[in-house]
Amino acid sequence: MKRKLSCRYFTLIAALAIGSVSMGILPCPAIAQPAKFFFVDPTGNDANPGTKEKPLATIEGIQKAVAGEVKAGLKSDIRVVFAPGRYELTGPWVIGPDQSGTDKFSITYTSAESPDQSPAPVVISGGRKITGWTKGDGDLWSAKLPAAASGAWWFRQLTLDGVRLTRARHPNTDGMLELTEVTDEFHTLTVKGNIPNTVAKAEQAELVVLQNWSLSRGRIDKIDGRTITTATPMAWLGHDACAARAGMACFLEHSRSFLDVPWEWFLDHDGQTVYAIILRGENPNDHNFIAPALQTLVQVRGESSKPVRNVRFFGIAFENAGWDIPSFGYRGIQAGYHGIKSDGPAFCQPAAIELAYASDCRIEWCSVAHTDAGGIALGAGCRNNAIVGCVISDIGGNGVHIGHRDKALLGEQALDADWPNPEQVPVGNSVTNCVLTDCGQVSYGAVGIFSAFTRDTRIAHNLVHRMPYTGVSVGFRWDPTPTSQKSNIVEYNHIYDVMRRLADGGCIYTLGRQPGTVLRGNLLHDAHRTPTAFGGAPNNGIFFDEGTTELLVENNIIFATSGEPIRFNQCGENGQQWKNNDFRKEELPADKIPANSAGLEPAWQKRLKP
């Protein structure tokens, strides 16, 4: 029987409530404080308070202002608004725990004052402008660079109005030489055809060899006829597929004697001069030439006990990051990893933006371009970070690398070693609605998106194309032993026009045991096999490589592949679950491709329209 409550009961409750409010007992909902703004402008001054009327000028000024707010205790979100312009870094922009947001309050670096505004043209650059070009013989121009004396400023990249120029090479861009003989522990290599014999050791010219799924790059000691001697072995010693062999394509790079077509360039550090062939009728002083002076632009770096939280970047372009090859040469293994020998440690490339021990951070509607190594890297201890709606292009290495091993782990682990501490495993990170194009421009064995030893990673609704090797790579253990790699989702991505240089890969590539991992709803096509590809391994829509097991593969469409749509190596079809896939080698009629089934979601299609 339901008891009837009297009016006296409600009167008592009301009285108690009124009394409690008057005494401050009942909690009131927190009223959100308006965000605190700091403004920065290239014409500002770091002595200013950072208001809109009196903005700051530099990254150093921003760091000091934000650290002051964090030290005092955040009481609201912070928005740091960049005025349109180019901000030239003097060193990496480091964001540590002293500049961290909290669980409640974020710190946003943005080109838009209001969250609902479109981005303004703001560039954070690690480069330096090159000016003062003078004309020499014919179409050869030069600019003096005192800062380049004795290799103090050694760069491998030069852009013209935002386009990467060709480092002087032989043969020219579309040509290749062919190796006919490799001797002397991979130091002495003979090529078919004539090559210039005027290369000086001081020029630091390089030989580049395209291997099966990677490349080697080493400095040239001398050239004698058709025989080249390199300073370092052209091999990851102990692994035949990652070593120079007869029949492989190769080319020579960076000698003044290779300068012969417009927009090739060469850096003479002894003469402190950069040279370029300029298209007849053009004056280089009317253009913007930029060369990188830093290898990493932004480092968001927390600690295991004190991660950086809730830091966001919105609507900012990050450009011009360099990287030199190691002293032992670049001996490529796979996906940007390199090393000396197969039974030794492996090394990771750096990235323009690196995060480690970062949680709930976000990079949205940004761009990363013109790097010699990686684009964005999420490393140890990264939790629930999101890369959303970004354009990542003209990248020397991997576009996005989740599971990146930074300097703290370089040289300490074998290639396929899992994280030494479970707390280091990246968990819950995502890459969504991004455009990734022209990655692997320096290291052809790099990929668009790479997930290695991660959990609960989501790679979804991305457009990935124009890759020299694989589009998306998931997993990095060459057998089915258990690792931290599990429950990763690769869904609704449009991946095409891949394998433009190398072999033995595909639109998607997998390795190892991955319980809970799903490949769903991806549109995969145009996995090529070009004349530079070496070896008999074909290129596919999905290549399930060694140890791949426990994946769910559903609702994927594959067509127009040079090899079979899917391929297995030391794993099998029975090791995966299959649901409602459409795999074919031939072309698929346009009317059979579901509209908007994969790739960017409609809102991001509009925002990222070329």
Instruction: Please list the residues that pair with 561 across neighbouring strands.
Output: 527
Residues 6+ positions from 19 with CB-CB distance below 8 Å: none
Return the structure tokens found at 25: 């007992």
Per-residue pLDDT, averaged over 564-580, amounts to 98
pLDDT digit string, tens, across residues 389-422: 999 999 999 999 999 997 545 456 788 999 999 9
Q: Is the pLDDT of residue 26 over 60?
A: no
Of 262, 260, 250, nearest to 223 (Cα)?
250
**CA angle 390-394-399, nearest 5°?**
55
* Residue 319, amino acid: E
**pLDDT tens-place string over residues 434-471:** 999 999 999 999 999 999 999 999 999 999 999 999 99
DSSP 8-class letter at 15: H
Share above pLDDT 90 across residues of the chain, in percent, rounded to a whole number = 86
pLDDT at residue 22 is higher than 50: no
Rounded Cα distance between 222 and 231, Å, is 9
Per the prediction, the chain carries an average pLDDT of: 93
Q: In the predicted model, what is the mean pLDDT of residues 82-96?
A: 97
**DSSP, res 34:** P
Q: What is the model's pLDDT at position 145?
A: 96
Q: What is the pLDDT of residues 47-73, one digit of tens each?
A: 999 999 999 999 999 999 999 999 999
Q: Are strands 177-183 and 264-268 parallel, antiparallel or unpaired?
A: unpaired
For residues 409 and 205, give the distance between their C-alpha atoms in angstroms, rounded to a whole number: 30
Q: Say if residue 171 is preceded by a cis peptide, omega within 30 of 0.
A: yes
Which amino acid belongs to residue 176? M
- Number of H helices and E strands in the chain, helices first, is 3, 54
Q: Are the C-beta atoms of 542 and 506 separated by less than 8 Å?
A: yes
Q: Tell me the whole-structure pTM to 2 decimals.
A: 0.94
- For residue 608, the tally of other CB atoms under 10 A from its CB is 17
Q: Which DSSP string corresponds to 200-258? A: -GGGT-EEEEE-SSSEEEEEEEEEETTEEEESS-SB-BT-GGGB--TT-EEEEE--GGG
